[in-house]
Chain A
């Protein structure tokens, strides 16, 4: 078995919220991530699916090294991210690329597209300076954009074009892992289709490892072969996409599937109640409050992510028995 490219071992991320007021009461704990276990193999395409407060964005930030884990370890290859030296950090920056949700905001508004794309190439000294314009043109071509966009500024491009430039920039350093945060949210369906096709083709051609955050199960199933479903900071189900979408084992995954609009199914609100706040979580399973199958044991024990079968992991005391 290959060594995984990313390993998360019981990772936790806690924020302390100081309460307003003069009395120094104990600060409240916001556990954005709680007991996350994840192994990412080279070439995997993984979708992180969750709603607000699920912690998916925080998870990506930890994997990128933007924030330290409060507990547990984030391993890249065999090295702990918190202990990389300067040389290794530079290598990591080159090998792992991130595409922001706010693609336009992630680009300097006063830099031209050609300079934005040239920056990573120049920084990591991937080719001679004279060869850079050619590389930039090749990158634009790969993401299906005309070369005429080179001298333009980000504010002059449409939403779809900017997303593609963001993908091109991520590819510029020839990374091994691409992480993307909701890269197709808010786009028109046709543009969304184009960007999704582009990402899928890229993954298939170059075997890049992809970690894709999305709230849209359809996008997840189109792009990724594996899914990790997050709820309030924990991965509640993880495994191959097709299997999970056909036979979800965690009640939350099942509820997500039912809520997802489909042509062949009538509207059904599968879950009642609001998504609770991750501040000061109650004892026991974090989903017990809304779970239609919750039992007494669920409010006592907090289930960890455990193997359900060879490929599936579920964090539930009473997983859903068979396909509905």
Chain B
């Protein structure tokens, strides 16, 4: 008996490998993206140890300097070390990116589930609210929320999260409607399962996968939006080390000291490309049509 169970356990693990890991690994570009993101995450996590200077320490004597032995990537107009600011900026970007998507996902999925499952008037009301949220481009919406909430890192997270609720809610509701009409839901009802059990065991797992893939792709949007808000001056407050803010600060010195905007700009671009590569890879890996074995 135990032998049989062991066999099952073994096959279960190799099943997981076969179904998820291998399709992922097969996507080479996604793996490249993942490697780059891993690097950024490491940089962000170990920023306190990797940084050479305090990111907000000003040293006007050393301002507007190019890369040198003392300041590996140069300094900005306040004499702050760009390398250290870059590392801490990575931390901020990733935290804001993931946090805002996480909050937006939880709220959006909850609304979408409620709307899809309950139908009727509830669905109508919820969807009209979502339509309202979706009517605005995300950046404009985030700007509006910042205007109400005020500046600062925390508020940026909330503002972005709110502007993501709409897309997640609509997507979830659509998927829930589709799943609701599948024969296996009715079969589960026939079997005598309670509604809660049906939602938890049958509806959610089938709705969550595409949402997670979407969430992965939204992180890059979140980071871009966050940088945009900061660039426009309605995001985080200076002297927080933030790439958008750094790009904005370097605008006046583009000809003289292009590295002030250039360094964070390039870092941002590479991270976004990596996130998109990974997102595409995730989507293809979880797409049932590409999941068949060769």
Residues of B with Cβ closer than 8 Å to A? Answer: 1, 4-5, 8, 11-12, 15, 19, 182-184, 186-188, 190-193, 201-202, 205-206, 209, 288
Contacts and interface: CB of A to CB of B under 8 A. Distances in A.
B206 A102 contact: no
3 closest Cβ pairs, A-B complex? A93-B192, A105-B183, A106-B183
Contact of B193 (A64, A123, A150, A155): A123
Given A93-B191, A105-B183, A133 B5 contact: yes
B205 A110 contact: yes
Contacts of A106: 183-184, 186-187
B192 A90 contact: yes
B4 A100 contact: no
B190 A93 contact: yes
B190 A155 contact: no
B8 A105 contact: no
A109 interface: yes
A218 to B, nearest CB: 26
A249 interface: no
A147 B4 contact: yes
Given A105-B182, A106-B187, A107-B184, A137 B4 contact: yes
Dominant SS at the A interface? loop
B187 A89 contact: no
Contacts of B187: 98, 100, 106-107
A284 interface: no
B258 to A, nearest CB: 51
A150 B8 contact: yes
Given A100-B187, A133-B5, A155 B288 contact: yes
B192 A123 contact: yes
B198 to A, nearest CB: 10
Contacts of A110: 205-206, 209
Given A108-B205, A134-B1, A147-B4, A120 B191 contact: yes
Contact of A108 (B4, B8, B184, B288): B184
Contacts of B205: 108, 110-111
A44 to B, nearest CB: 21
A173 B1 CA distance: 23
A152 B5 CA distance: 15
A66 interface: yes
Nearest to A99: B187
A181 to B, nearest CB: 10
Interface string A135-147: 0010000000001
A97 to B, nearest CB: 8
A100 B183 contact: yes
A94 interface: yes
Interface string A102-126: 1001111111101000011001100
A114 B4 CA distance: 13
Nearest to A91: B192
A176 to B, nearest CB: 15
Contacts of B11: 148, 150-151
A115 to B, nearest CB: 9
A43 B192 CA distance: 24
11 contacts: A93-B190, A102-B183, A105-B182, A105-B183, A105-B184, A106-B183, A108-B188, A119-B191, A123-B193, A124-B192, A151-B12
Given A102-B183, A114-B8, A151-B11, 18 more contacts: A66-B190, A90-B192, A98-B187, A98-B190, A105-B184, A108-B184, A108-B188, A108-B201, A109-B206, A111-B201, A112-B15, A119-B188, A119-B191, A123-B191, A150-B8, A150-B11, A151-B15, A173-B191
Contacts of A151: 8, 11-12, 15
B194 to A, nearest CB: 9
A173 B205 CA distance: 24
A220 to B, nearest CB: 24
Nearest to B203: A108
Contact of A152 (B1, B15, B186): B15
A251 B206 CA distance: 49
Contacts of A98: 187, 190
